[in-house]
Structure 1
Amino acid sequence: MTAVAPDSTGAAGGTQQQILSARGLIKTFGRVVGLDGVDLDLYRGEVLAIIGDNGAGKSTLIKCLTGALVPDAGTLELDGKRVHFQRPQDARDAGIETVYQQLAVIPALDIASNLYLAREERRAGPLGSVLRMLDKKGMRERAGKAVQELGIQTIQNMGQAVETLSGGQRQAVAVSRAAAFGGKVVVLDEPTAALGVKESNQVLEMVKSLRAKGLGVILISHNMPQVWEVADRIHIQRLGGRAGVITPQSHSMTDGVGIMTGAMKLEG
């Protein structure tokens, strides 16, 4: 078999434009090699899935892309410009939002407050600049718009406490926040891991909505059927390196698992 090069057109149509590129990423932890010269490319309006067995380097790769870890060697480019992320806030400021498997939401706060967590907006004029009053009404309106743009029908009241929501609805809040502020790239780490079938399908629809908005989406998942359903390309990690990049059209799930485990190798 041969490794698959990215198509010239994306899922959203038109010519693909590279938005995120990594070259030769190396990360070691003492004698343990987390990443061994990994390359990665992400395009606008694309869902790039990253799969691999436990210990393959998926989490280390994502952390290096989003500022949670600083690679020992290698380069990152965002929109064709070299970037150096020293912390997650650097990546967020550059337009990369991450939704981790352990949701970073505060149950006691309402939906709007969670969407604007650490990004609170103040009221206009002296009320905001002098009295430092928050624009709660405006934030709720904009939060509602962000949720509606993703096609989420199960959340209507932006003043509802997150602790009253289901697991799928909480995931929707986290994804909505990423979509609202991730101007370029959204990274989703196992977004359906703890969800039932119905809620998982809702999250997958949100992933498709992010792609339709023209964002670059990186999806880390162990759920092969879901990967083959939504991914445009699939980056396979094995033993800290990139084993290959395939597409759901070119390779079956059985092929993907075989490459992950080393039972099958890509040529080229």
Structure 2
Amino acid sequence: MSEHTPTIEMRNVSKHFGSVIALSEISMEVHAGEVMCLLGDNGAGKSTLIKTLSGVYRPTEGELLLEGKPVRFKSPAYALDAGIATVYQDLAMIPLMSITRNFFMGREPTVGWGPFKRIDWKHADRVAKQEMAKIGIDVRDPGQPVGTLSGGERQCVAIARAVYFGAKVLILDEPTSALGVKQASVVLRYIAKARADGLAVIFITHNVHHAYPVADAFTLLKRGTSLGTFRKEAISREEVLNMMAGGAEMESLDAELAEFQRSDQEGKAKRGGNTASLPGDAQQAYVAGDH
């Protein structure tokens, strides 16, 4: 693979569910050491796109390429084996299980052979603690339930797990949507670290303020179609916001709100004018609400 070959690429990918067109001719490419932010409002097609990338859905039309080679994944397990790791909003973690168990779920290190093979929990605990320390999270006891961690720390466990097991492409589904400012900053910092480590990162969000600081490029989706891909140096934060909101739609909304305000003011003036011709007692009753 040459340095100019994208790690992952979509070429005119469409996904249909019967007569419903969820995605229409989406093209996108992400290179190693780059963060591509996939932006769009609810219903834009972000979830369908990442499920198509991660092997949950097969594209109806178009093709996926991994390191320049066409791929068709039979299931998410095949995509994971190929190096595409997806961290969903629900994190696929079990809160009552330990950090270590969640970190190695399904891939536990073993010692021994044959009927004497067993899980090497000492090694697993040591690795989980070391990997969390690399991202600045000091875990005193990797045996503690993962549910005792903050939302941002749980996101980092999921991301660190994907990186440790050799992901080439890291897909993050709204990782900061339910987090406070401090927790979100922890996740954004680790996204930047994953980029520095040479991963191709796809960051799905509808929050431009979280996306803009870490992004290298933006792909904007609207109702299953792409509005285009833009390099960060070619587009400002305000332009991204405007495109997401829909400039024409916002202008139309502003006009409608101005008309409502004008009509309301005219109505108040008309009601106020009518009270001038009433007797004094009647005016007081009107003001008091007896009308």
Q: Same fold (TM over 0.5)?
A: yes
Deviation at residue 211 of structure 1 after TM alignment = 0.4
Query: Match of 1:193?
Result: 177
Deviation at residue 79 of structure 1 after TM alignment = 1.1
What residue identity is the alignment partner of 1:39? S
Query: Match of 2:187?
Result: 203
Question: 1:97-155, CA deviations, whole angstroms, 9 ceiling, x for partnerless residues?
Answer: 111011211112111111110111211x33xx323310111111222222233x22243
Q: Does 1:89 align with 2:60?
A: no
TM-score by length of 1: 0.87
Identity score, percent:
41
Query: Match of 1:3?
Result: none
TM-score by length of 2: 0.80
What residue identity is the alignment partner of 2:118? M
Deviation at residue 259 of structure 1 after TM alignment = 2.4
What residue identity is the alignment partner of 1:138? H
- Which structure 2 residues correspond to residues 1-268 of structure 1 after superposition, within 5 A? 17-123=5-111, 125-126=112-113, 129-149=114-134, 151-263=135-247
Runs (4 or more) in structure 1 with deviation over 4 Å come to none
Deviation at residue 48 of structure 1 after TM alignment = 0.4
**SS at the partner of 1:25?**
strand
Shifted more, 245-254 versus 33-42: the winner is: 245-254
What residue identity is the alignment partner of 1:120? E
Instruction: Give the whole-Å Cα distance in 1 for the aligned partners of 2:184 and 2:201.
Output: 17
Query: Unmatched 5+ residue regions in structure 1?
Result: 1-14
CA contact 2:129–2:142 (8 Å) conserved in 1 = yes
Query: Match of 2:288?
Result: none
Deviation at residue 17 of structure 1 after TM alignment = 4.4
Name the structure, 1 or 2, with higher relative contact order (CA <8 Å, separation 6+): 1
Shifted more, 215-224 versus 161-170: the winner is: 161-170
What residue identity is the alignment partner of 2:61? A
> Which has the larger share of helix?
2
Query: Unmatched 5+ residue regions in structure 2?
Result: 249-291
What residue identity is the alignment partner of 2:220? I
Instruction: Give the whole-Å Cα distance in 2 for the aligned partners of 1:156 and 1:169.
Output: 13
**SS at the partner of 1:130?**
helix
Deviation at residue 31 of structure 1 after TM alignment = 2.0
Question: Pairwise CA RMSD of aligned residues?
Answer: 1.6
Deviation at residue 30 of structure 1 after TM alignment = 2.1
Deviation at residue 262 of structure 1 after TM alignment = 4.2
Question: 1:29-57, CA deviations, whole angstroms, 9 ceiling, x for partnerless residues?
Answer: 22221110111101000000000122211
CA contact 2:22–2:48 (8 Å) conserved in 1 = yes
Query: Match of 2:270?
Result: none
Flag the structure with larger Rg.
2
Deviation at residue 261 of structure 1 after TM alignment = 4.2
Instruction: Give the whole-Å Cα distance in 1 for the aligned partners of 2:244 and 2:176.
Output: 21
| Count of matched residue positions in the alignment of Structure 1 and Structure 2 | 246
Question: 1:211-253, CA deviations, whole angstroms, 9 ceiling, x for partnerless residues?
Answer: 0110000000111111110000001112211111113322122
